[in-house]
A and B are shown apart, each in its own frame.
Chain A
């Protein structure tokens, strides 16, 4: 085995080793999920050196510098966001939105049946993806590549588009209900769709061919997501349950059935051994998916839990609720750390920035709020939308935010330069 080069992954922090073995180039990743801005570099370096035979003593200086660089990227940034541009994006209300990985483009879906591709640096529209016969509800880039876009529509189809030309490459037909969730496999080889028809489907993202139908839920599938290595797919349903599927065979591996009301949100942690689920039964469950058992029932909210989200390293969890608050939990201790108080309406979305230092929430009070993870305090209120905010996103660098609203506009917010 011969080490060829190092690659860095900033969020969550990791060093990827590219090496040669038996004439083949392979990669492996050293995850540094515990890395903090005040972590002692020498201790981390010592652990890596002891554990990883590929890293010989003469490489240590190099690795030390890499750890320092990763640590630097975790530094909390205390800059404020300011409104950069209001995009009168669509003729009708927006649904979801998403950045590509570099943050150079973002996409918005709308009730006006289109998806638009935007240039982040100028706020100009690049393409309008037209062709759906009804609301474009769910959208996704095939990150980290960013050359394909998938759109799921109330017209019961999913379309795959070229991000470069804006041309539709395939229309994925087969669902008998609205397509309301869509996701690309981490390698971009397949795309999965979740539908109100209670099934999910896997499709070949290169040929548009249907690979299999995931049958088992008895209610609408409203959320789906892959684990980090793409071996499993998680589906959450209005039938109160969550299922985990083998993406290779399409077989159901596990059903997580403890919630007593509809699932609103479900997500794997980064290492893929845990799942967090939010439900209209007012609670959030943490599951150990090696056993399929609930390891914590987080029941602090007084009303429906509408969203749950791990931070990128999987150390913390944030929830959003109709009770107008959010909670930050410590995943290891399963204890609430902070209650996020301030919104004047239900909180529909909550997410971490990739650095794990800030949380973004949106609410029916027409504002989005930015929160400091280490104090639970609101650092900023993003105001200006004139109707409910439906969706929001951070870019990978965590210095930009987009918010999409029922008021037919989206707003781009950037760090003060």
Chain B
């Protein structure tokens, strides 16, 4: 991928492309999720210091998925990628209970951003394959997701490592996007 490819993925064509932003704290599993979506080997994933971007075909859509590094010092740069976002996917490490507060603060900061106003939110409660994982209902409650009223949202349990739950998530996403794109 060169710089030109990045420019091409900056704006999606209105009818059959989607720009998807993948955010979440460090170690949430965003890059593993991205690789799983692209059917790539997920056994070696290192912390992202920057971003990864891949194009995935799904249900007649070309999904340009941007995975942005989640470490604290680079979170201020998430704003670089907000423009033209069709869907925000927020990834949570369901086993990292200590940081549920931190991840919910970051999420609510995002929801207040003008450039993400009305952008549908899809939350993956990741690492559900691990015993220590908190279940989706509890996470929704801890993050007070029911307070989100101004946009469409959905939470989905998954394991980026095994791939469980991801396809279901993407189907929901494409179905809802198809409706939205038709309305435009």
Contacts and interface: CB of A to CB of B under 8 A. Distances in A.
A175 interface: no
A92 B77 contact: yes
Contacts of A220: 7, 11
A36 interface: no
Interface in A173-224: 178, 180, 196, 220, 222
B49 to A, nearest CB: 6
B137 interface: no
A390 B80 contact: no
Given A111-B50, A196-B11, A134 B4 contact: no
Given A92-B49, A154-B10, 18 more contacts: A92-B50, A93-B50, A96-B3, A111-B50, A112-B77, A113-B77, A134-B79, A134-B80, A135-B80, A196-B10, A196-B11, A220-B11, A264-B4, A306-B4, A346-B1, A362-B2, A390-B2, A406-B50
Interface residues of B, number: 17
Interface of A: 91-93, 95-96, 111-113, 134-135, 137, 154, 178, 180, 196, 220, 222, 238, 262, 264, 306, 346, 348-349, 362, 364, 387-388, 390-391, 406-408
A92 B79 CA distance: 13
B50 A222 contact: no
B55 to A, nearest CB: 14
B114 interface: no
A348 B4 contact: yes
Nearest to A181: B7
B74 interface: yes
B73 interface: yes
Interface string B1-18: 111100110110000000
Nearest to B82: A134
A222 B2 contact: no
A306 B3 CA distance: 10
Q: Find the residue from B3, B10, B73 having the highest chain A CB count within 10 A.
A: B3
B47 to A, nearest CB: 12
Given A111-B51, A196-B10, A222-B7, A92 B74 contact: yes
12 contacts: A111-B51, A135-B80, A137-B3, A154-B10, A154-B80, A180-B7, A196-B10, A196-B11, A220-B7, A346-B1, A348-B4, A390-B3
B3 A111 contact: no
A91 B74 contact: yes
Nearest to A320: B2
A91 to B, nearest CB: 6
B4 A222 contact: yes
A82 to B, nearest CB: 25
Contacts of B10: 154, 178, 196
Contacts of A92: 49-51, 74, 77
A178 B51 CA distance: 19
A95 B51 CA distance: 13
Contacts of A264: 4
B80 A111 contact: yes
A180 B11 CA distance: 13
Nearest to B83: A154
B77 A111 contact: yes
Interface in B108-136: none
A346 to B, nearest CB: 7
B2 A408 contact: no
Contacts of A364: 1-2
B57 to A, nearest CB: 18
A391 B80 contact: no
Given A92-B50, A348-B3, A408-B50, A113 B11 contact: no
Interface in B29-79: 49-51, 73-74, 77, 79
Contacts of B73: 91
A407 B7 CA distance: 18
A198 to B, nearest CB: 11
A-B complex: 10 closest residue pairs judged by Cβ atoms: A348-B2, A93-B50, A390-B3, A92-B50, A134-B80, A135-B80, A264-B4, A364-B1, A388-B1, A222-B7
Contacts of B74: 91-92
Q: Find the residue from B7, B8, B79, B83 having the highest chain A CB count within 10 A.
A: B7
B20 to A, nearest CB: 18
B71 to A, nearest CB: 10
Contacts of A135: 80
A311 B20 CA distance: 40
Contacts of A93: 50-51
A279 to B, nearest CB: 11
A232 B125 CA distance: 56
Contacts of A178: 10
Contacts of A407: 49-50
Contacts of A111: 50-51, 77, 80
A408 B73 CA distance: 14
B3 A262 contact: no
A92 B1 CA distance: 16
Given A111-B50, A220-B11, A391 B79 contact: no
Contacts of A180: 7
Contact of B3 (A95, A134, A196): A95
A220 B50 CA distance: 25
Contacts of B4: 222, 264, 306, 348
